[in-house]
Structure 1
Amino acid sequence: MDAVIRKTVHAADGEQLSLYTVTPQNESFGASGVVILHGAGAGDKERHLPFAEDFAAHGHPAVALDFSGHGESTGELVNLSLRRRRDQAAAVIDEVFGTERPLVLVGFSMSGQTVADLVDLYGKRVTAIVLCAPGIYGKDAWDVPFGAGFTEMIRRPGSWCASQALDTYARFDGRALLVVPEQDAVIPEGVTELLRTALATHADFSELRLAGASHQLGIWLADQSRARSDIISTLLLPRCSAQVLETGLQSTGFPADLLST
């Protein structure tokens, strides 16, 4: 399916945010708007353009943005915060997808927290989430600029246990896909286990483990077209229909009785 790719700039939160919009020539019936959110550090929208194109190939319009201080957006990374990430993503969503279209949120690394913040904001409008090597953070870090002691706060042992994201994900009852790399030297296993438990509470939940992948899933997936396709296909199926795939992508999940609402 052909798609139209546009690079635009959107004014939000006092910044000029660079984004890609990928629009299918023919949308699927009831198509969702897919929002792809990069992680921290050197994360940017460029690595996620192939993923956005894949969603469009399935008939779903997609957007990938650079948060301020990243990629081609204005601003300094030290002035960014978790709250500002939420606000910037919301401004782009409202501009690109309006107020009615259902949403699929895809978050990498730090955006595991941002997806939760957006679920709190948009509620039932979010029908599905994909969390790729996700991180979550304590409530006391949410407003702290990254250059003002944020790193020290999040490195306190167990600080993530107080994240509001856990309550949000435990309430979420849409489709949820947790994507975990084979080796992750950044996200503690305790974080992943808490997220796994929270997502299994009410969501239609699946977990995929990517053989041979490390924490930088955005970079890895950019060159793995089969893996991207398998992630999207798994997301679009009910959890009980997910299967072990042949590209090193392994599907695991919780028993059905843990997924009932």
Structure 2
Amino acid sequence: MTRMDELTGFSYAYDGERLSGASAGPAGRTTAVLLHGAGNGSKERLLPFLTDFAAQGCRALAFDFSGHGDSTGALAELSLRRRYEQAVAVLDAHVPADDPLVLVGFSMSGQTVADLVRHYGDRVAAVGLCAPAVYTPEAWEVPFGTGEGRFSELIRTPGSWRHSPALEALRTYAGRAVLAVPGTDTIIPPEVTEAVQEALSARARYTRLDLPDAEHWLGLWFRDHAGDRRDFVAALLDGERRAAGPVVSGIGDHGGKDS
């Protein structure tokens, strides 16, 4: 008999690329979708999350965006728009249409999660953001390139992120939300984290998880710190809790604008 927390690999052909993914857990209840960050990010470091969600009776999946991990394609040709479109394509192909969604994004995928919230609306039961980034709408269509092109110029423009539609999407989101914040982050400016927190505090049932000893790369941190990872999963699945106060170790629950 196959264990529910056993990982199963899959591949999905989309827009000329072959996207590599993995899943675990039973279908037909809630599905958690985990999205890695930019650079050398991949699904590999997120695989322990899949078994943790499966152990809680959820289905969970992660995949490599094109140009990452085991997927085909060139990273320089990827864009925020293509990331969003790839996520929608994989999700629609591999998640039962009636499943509530738990969307988890690391770094650049903070923007992608917000884009998915706009797309899937009330179907999104919970959102987990780990050292998230948000970007100016002008960067949406622009290929990432090699680090010195138009995309880099746009995202390095001081304050350009303030006009990101991601913030409005998070501001109107009314489900469960967990924001994981490392103690040291040399990638995401603190004012971006504050803006994301403010947006999530507007309507969502919001929890902040502080990880004082962690740095920006929270996929690696959670991979190596099972207790923190399971606390994060528990907070995401604790959708009925309303009261302020500690939810699990190291996590405080903040309802509305009191945070």
| TM-score normalized by the length of structure 2 | 0.92
> Measured at CA, do residues 78 and 257 of structure 1 come closer, stay the same or move farther in structure 2, by a change above 3 Å?
closer
> Do the aligned residues in 2 keep the contact of 1:234 with 1:242 (CA within 8 Å)?
no
| Count of aligned residue pairs for this structure pair | 252
Runs of 4+ aligned structure 1 residues displaced above 3 Å come to: none
Describe the shift of the 1:244–1:102 C-alpha distance in structure 2 as closer, same or farther (beyond 3 A): closer
| CA distance in structure 2 between the aligned counterparts of 1:18 and 1:7, rounded to whole angstroms | 8
Query: Any gaps of 5 or more consecutive residues in structure 1?
Result: none
Kindly report which structure 2 residues correspond to 1:112-123, keeping only aligned pairs within 5 A, or say none. Answer: 112-123=110-121
In the alignment, which residue of structure 2 is the partner of 1:144? Answer: 142
The runs of 5 or more residues in structure 2 that have no matched partner are none
Partner of 1:37: 35
- Cα distance, 1:61–1:11 mapped onto 2, change above 3 Å: same
Q: What residue in structure 1 maps to residue 52 of structure 2? A: 54
Deviation for aligned residue 1:22: 1.0
Corresponding residue number in structure 2 for 1:240: 243
* 1:105 partner SS: strand
Question: How far does residue 7 in structure 1 lie from its aligned partner after superposition?
Answer: 1.0
By how many angstroms is 1:257 displaced?
Answer: 5.2
The aligned residue for residue 222 of structure 2 is 221
Please tell me whether residue 19 in structure 1 is matched to residue 18 in structure 2.
Answer: no
Please state how far the C-alpha of 1:242 moved relative to its aligned partner.
Answer: 5.6
CA distance in 2, matches of 1:63, 1:57: 13
The CA deviation at 1:2 is 4.0
Do the aligned residues in 1 keep the contact of 2:173 with 2:200 (CA within 8 Å)? yes
Q: CA RMSD in A?
A: 1.8
Q: Percent identity?
A: 49
Equivalent residue, structure 2, for 1:158: 159
Q: Flag the 1:55–1:241 CA change in 2: closer, same or farther, 3 A.
A: farther
Aligned equivalent of 1:97: 95
Match of residue 187 from structure 2: 186
Corresponding residue number in structure 2 for 1:3: 5
SS of residue matched to 2:246: coil
Query: With structure 1 as the length reference, what TM-score do the two structures score?
Result: 0.92
* Change beyond 3 A, Cα 1:79–1:206: same
Q: Give the aligned partner of residue 124 of structure 1.
A: 122
The CA distance in 1 between the partners of 2:138 and 2:155, in whole Å, is 9
Query: Does structure 1 conserve the Cα–Cα contact (< 8 Å) formed by 2:6 and 2:51?
Result: no
Question: In structure 1, what is the equivalent of residue 131 of structure 2?
Answer: 133
Q: CA deviation at 1:252?
A: 3.5
- CA distance in 2 between partners of 1:144 and 1:92 (Å): 22
